[in-house]
Structure 1
């Protein structure tokens, strides 16, 4: 896979395995050797955020789709949702992230999931057997992860204690655009980002999670 955006120069290399960036162009840092998490921290859109929180609580979503990379559009997968300006803004953001993934990673076909979740989907720390997965949480708590020095990789599995004693648990924020590099990325074996689903409060709050990966 080859990116459409320009790769960063060597002298700009970040330290550590994770990288926070402030523009979509900087997400090309995911191509760097050793980097397994790159997060565009773009902040909340308050009116859209409030609308999506209401939507997640009222409308179950379970979209699993294959989308063409040359014409990414999710609108046809959401026919039963209420229309209006905020819905249109959200669909445009979903499609923007699809186009961004294609530009970054050159994927011809995208595997897309858009779910409302009322329980923890993957509560244990784990790594994914994928190349690069994009995650964006639109409502509810966002994905949690561990910095590499805090991981006991030999303990990864059904019952292992993966986090070192006293390790701080890191968390993404709503509307973050996160690229998570998995074990299937060339040369990244043993360095997939270790992450898990966050605990969901028992007060009816739901997560609204969007994910993209290359097929």
Structure 2
């Protein structure tokens, strides 16, 4: 809890245990990251998905209990599918339990371009993000951000020219496999302080396998 009249400067927290996710309820936390390593079978299946010619775009609203079957029905039957599905389903269950949700919005996508290249905030309460393959999400620590350069304040300039940050070394990036909760402007009491983040730039021959989970209530 922030002391009365204390300047608000959101922080990020990190741990190698999933319990760090509960810190998103702390008023001063706008990014909670579970640093983890993916099982070899999960990595191999993710890479197989990225190698297929048909782009994967799986988007739906699910109940946690039905997630496993939903994913099995929607994903190619290749070696490691069950391990991958169990991992995703576990994240859906964790997300639903943490926020007491009966349904979760799930999006699992293979991305071959820079999806959200500009630093921005989300106008929603909270989103879970993890990359199973390829480069992961980037963000700016609060002390390094000039929020007046968000959106229209950038005057159409790209991030490296807009002044939203003054040194590219300030840009932080998740690791592949990390699970992050990104608090948005829609979280109660957090308007104007959502975590500032963007998609990483990727080369023409690269692909990302990205999972995002959202409130569906």
TM-score normalised per structure 2: 0.85
After superposing on structure 2, the runs of 4+ consecutive aligned residues of structure 1 that deviate more than 6 Å are none
Partner of 1:169 in structure 2? 171
Please identify which structure carries the higher helix content.
2
Distance in 1 between residues matched to 2:88 and 2:120, nearest whole Å: 26
Q: Are the aligned partners of 2:72 and 2:82 in contact in 1 as well (CA < 8 Å)?
A: no
1:23 deviates by 1.1
| Superposition RMSD in Å | 1.9
Gaps of 5+ in 1: 1-14
Partner of 1:153 in structure 2? 147
Quick one: structure 1 residues 164 and 95, their matched pair in 2 at CA, closer, same or farther if it must change by over 3 Å? Answer: same
Secondary structure of the corresponding residue to residue 29 of structure 2: coil
Distance in 2 between residues matched to 1:43 and 1:177, nearest whole Å: 10
> 1:203-214 counterparts in 2 under 5 A?
203=205, 205-214=206-215
100-109 or 71-80, which deviates more: 71-80
The answer to whether residue 70 in structure 2 is matched with residue 76 in structure 1 is: yes
Q: Count matched residues.
A: 199
Quick one: structure 1 residues 118 and 201, their matched pair in 2 at CA, closer, same or farther if it must change by over 3 Å? Answer: same
Q: Are the aligned partners of 2:72 and 2:81 in contact in 1 as well (CA < 8 Å)?
A: no
Quick one: structure 1 residues 82 and 109, their matched pair in 2 at CA, closer, same or farther if it must change by over 3 Å? Answer: closer
Q: Are the aligned partners of 1:153 and 1:162 in contact in 2 as well (CA < 8 Å)?
A: no
TM-score normalised per structure 1: 0.86
